[in-house]
Chains A and B, each alone.
Chain A
Amino acid sequence: MTRNRTAALVAAVAAAATALAGCTSSGGGGGGNAPAAAGDELKAGVFLDVTSWDPANADIGFDGPYLSAVYDPLVALDKDGKPVPALASSWEWSADRLTLTAKLRTGVTFEDGQKFDATAAVANIQHLKAGVRSGQAYLNVADAAAKDPETLEIRLSKRDDALLYQMGLGRSWMASPAAITAGSLATDPVGSGPYKYDKGASAPQSQYVFSKKTDHWDAGTYPFPSVKLFPITDQTASFNAMLSGQLNLQFANAANLAKAKESGWNISQKAASWVGVQFADRTGAQVKALGDQRVRQAISYAFDSAGILKAVGNDSGTVTNQVFSVDGQVYDKSMNDKYKTDMAKAKQLLSDAGYPDGFSVKMPMSPIFAAWQPAANQTFGELGIKVEWQDMAMPDYQKNAPTYPMFLAVIALAGNDMATLTDQVTTAQWYNPNPAVDAFPEIKALVDQVEKAEPGQPQTDLLKQLNTKLVDQAWWAPWYQANNTYFSVKGITVTPVTGMMFPTLRFIQRG
Chain B
Amino acid sequence: MLSFIAKRLLSGILLLLVVTSGTFFLAHLAVGDPTPGLLGNSATAAQQDALRAKIGYDRPLLVQFWDWLTHAAAADFGTSWRSFQPVNDQLVQRVPVTLSVVVFATLLSAVIGVAVGIVCGLRPGGMLDRTLKLASVVLFALPGFWISLVLVTWFAINLKWFPAIGYVSPDQSVSGWLSSITLPSVSLALGAIVMVAEQLRNGFLQVTNQDFVRTLRARGLSGRRVTTHVLRNASPAALTVLALMFVGLLGGAIVVEIVFNLPGIGSLTQSASQIGDIPVLLGLTAVTVVFVVIVNFLLDLLLGWVNPKVRDR
* Residues of chain A having any CB pair with chain B under 8 Å: 1-2, 5, 20, 23-24, 27-30, 32-33, 49, 52, 59, 132-133, 135-136, 186-187, 203-207, 230, 232-234, 236-238, 240-241, 243-246, 393-396, 398-399, 402, 429-430
- B47 — which chain A residues lie within 8 A by C-beta? 132
Q: A20-B149, A30-B157, A398-B41 are in contact. Are A246 and B165 (CB under 8 A)?
A: yes
| Chain A interface mostly | mixed
Task: Say yes or no: B41 contacts A2, CB within 8 Å.
Answer: yes
| Interchain nearest-CB distance for A262 vs B (Å) | 13
Q: A133's contact among B42, B83, B262, by CB below 8 Å, is which?
A: B42
> Which residue from chain A places its CB closest to the CB of B262 in the assembled complex?
A206
> Which residue from chain A places its CB closest to the CB of B154 in the assembled complex?
A29
| Interchain nearest-CB distance for B180 vs A (Å) | 11
- A429 — which chain B residues lie within 8 A by C-beta? 41-42
| Interchain nearest-CB distance for A223 vs B (Å) | 24
Q: State whether the Cβ of B153 lies closer than 8 Å to any Cβ in chain A.
A: yes
Task: Say yes or no: B146 contacts A205, CB within 8 Å.
Answer: no
Q: State whether the Cβ of B11 lies closer than 8 Å to any Cβ in chain A.
A: no
Task: State A20–B258 Cα separation when bound (angstroms).
Answer: 12
Encode contact with A along B129-149: 1 for CB under 8 Å, 0 otherwise. Answer: 000000000000000011001
Task: Say yes or no: A245 contacts B160, CB within 8 Å.
Answer: yes
Q: State whether the Cβ of B150 lies closer than 8 Å to any Cβ in chain A.
A: yes
Q: State whether the Cβ of B307 lies closer than 8 Å to any Cβ in chain A.
A: no
Task: State A402–B158 Cα separation when bound (angstroms).
Answer: 48
Q: B164's contact among A132, A237, A396, by CB below 8 Å, is which?
A: A237
Task: Say yes or no: A237 contacts B263, CB within 8 Å.
Answer: no
Q: State whether the Cβ of B279 lies closer than 8 Å to any Cβ in chain A.
A: no
| Interchain nearest-CB distance for A330 vs B (Å) | 24
Given contacts A232-B261, A237-B261, 10 further A-B contacts (CB under 8 A): A5-B40, A24-B152, A27-B149, A29-B153, A186-B84, A203-B167, A233-B258, A244-B156, A393-B274, A430-B42
| Interchain nearest-CB distance for B266 vs A (Å) | 12
Task: State A337–B263 Cα separation when bound (angstroms).
Answer: 48
| Interchain nearest-CB distance for A21 vs B (Å) | 10
Task: Say yes or no: B169 contacts A203, CB within 8 Å.
Answer: yes
- B262 — which chain A residues lie within 8 A by C-beta? 206
Residue from A230, A241, A395 with most neighbouring chain B CB atoms (10 Å): A395
Q: B259's contact among A27, A133, A237, by CB below 8 Å, is which?
A: A237
Task: Say yes or no: B42 contacts A243, CB within 8 Å.
Answer: no
Q: A133-B42, A203-B167 are in contact. Are A395 and B37 (CB under 8 A)?
A: yes
5 closest residue pairs by CB, A with B: A430-B41, A27-B153, A395-B37, A29-B158, A206-B263
Task: State A27–B276 Cα separation when bound (angstroms).
Answer: 37
Scan residues 145-183 of chain B and give those whose CB is less than 8 A from a CB of chain A. 145-146, 149-150, 152-154, 156-158, 160, 163-167, 169
- B276 — which chain A residues lie within 8 A by C-beta? 395
Task: State A133–B267 Cα separation when bound (angstroms).
Answer: 25
Task: Say yes or no: B158 contacts A230, CB within 8 Å.
Answer: no
- B40 — which chain A residues lie within 8 A by C-beta? 1-2, 5, 59, 132-133, 398
- A2 — which chain B residues lie within 8 A by C-beta? 40-42
| Interchain nearest-CB distance for B273 vs A (Å) | 8
Q: State whether the Cβ of B85 lies closer than 8 Å to any Cβ in chain A.
A: yes
Task: Say yes or no: A395 contacts B36, CB within 8 Å.
Answer: yes
Q: How many residues on B have C-beta within 8 angstroms of the other chain's C-beta atoms?
A: 43
- B5 — which chain A residues lie within 8 A by C-beta? none
Task: State A27–B159 Cα separation when bound (angstroms).
Answer: 13
Encode contact with A along B247-283: 1 for CB under 8 Å, 0 otherwise. Answer: 0000000000011111100011001001110000000
Task: Say yes or no: B258 contacts A186, CB within 8 Å.
Answer: no
- B169 — which chain A residues lie within 8 A by C-beta? 203
Q: State whether the Cβ of B39 lies closer than 8 Å to any Cβ in chain A.
A: yes
> Which residue from chain B places its CB closest to the CB of A237 in the assembled complex?
B261
| Interchain nearest-CB distance for A31 vs B (Å) | 10
- B83 — which chain A residues lie within 8 A by C-beta? 52, 186-187
> Which residue from chain B places its CB closest to the CB of A398 in the assembled complex?
B41
Q: State whether the Cβ of B93 lies closer than 8 Å to any Cβ in chain A.
A: yes
Q: A230-B261, A246-B163 are in contact. Are A23 and B149 (CB under 8 A)?
A: yes
List 15 A-B pairs, Cβ < 8 Å. Answer: A59-B40, A133-B42, A135-B44, A205-B267, A205-B271, A230-B165, A230-B166, A233-B258, A236-B259, A237-B261, A238-B261, A240-B156, A244-B163, A394-B274, A429-B41
Task: Say yes or no: B39 contacts A132, CB within 8 Å.
Answer: yes
Q: State whether the Cβ of B43 lies closer than 8 Å to any Cβ in chain A.
A: yes
Task: State A33–B158 Cα separation when bound (angstroms).
Answer: 8
Task: Say yes or no: A237 contacts B42, CB within 8 Å.
Answer: no
Scan residues 71-107 of chain B and give those whose CB is less than 8 A from a CB of chain A. 83-85, 93
Task: Say yes or no: B36 contacts A398, CB within 8 Å.
Answer: yes
- A52 — which chain B residues lie within 8 A by C-beta? 83
Task: State A398–B36 Cα separation when bound (angstroms).
Answer: 8
Task: Say yes or no: A232 contacts B165, CB within 8 Å.
Answer: yes
- B149 — which chain A residues lie within 8 A by C-beta? 20, 23-24, 27, 236, 240
Q: A395's contact among B84, B259, B274, by CB below 8 Å, is which?
A: B274
Task: State A187–B41 Cα separation when bound (angstroms).
Answer: 22
Encode contact with A along B33-72: 1 for CB under 8 Å, 0 otherwise. Answer: 0001101111110010000000000000000000000000
Q: A234's contact among B32, B43, B259, by CB below 8 Å, is which?
A: B259
- A135 — which chain B residues lie within 8 A by C-beta? 42, 44
Task: Say yes or no: B42 contacts A204, CB within 8 Å.
Answer: no
Q: A205's contact among B32, B42, B152, B263, by CB below 8 Å, is which?
A: B263
- A203 — which chain B residues lie within 8 A by C-beta? 93, 167, 169, 263
Q: A237-B260, A399-B36 are in contact. Are A206 and B166 (CB under 8 A)?
A: yes
> Which residue from chain A places its CB closest to the CB of B169 in the assembled complex?
A203
Residue from A2, A187, A232, A237 with most neighbouring chain B CB atoms (10 Å): A237
Task: State A59–B145 Cα separation when bound (angstroms).
Answer: 31
- A1 — which chain B residues lie within 8 A by C-beta? 40, 42
- A230 — which chain B residues lie within 8 A by C-beta? 165-166, 261
> Which residue from chain B places its CB closest to the CB of A130 in the assembled complex?
B47
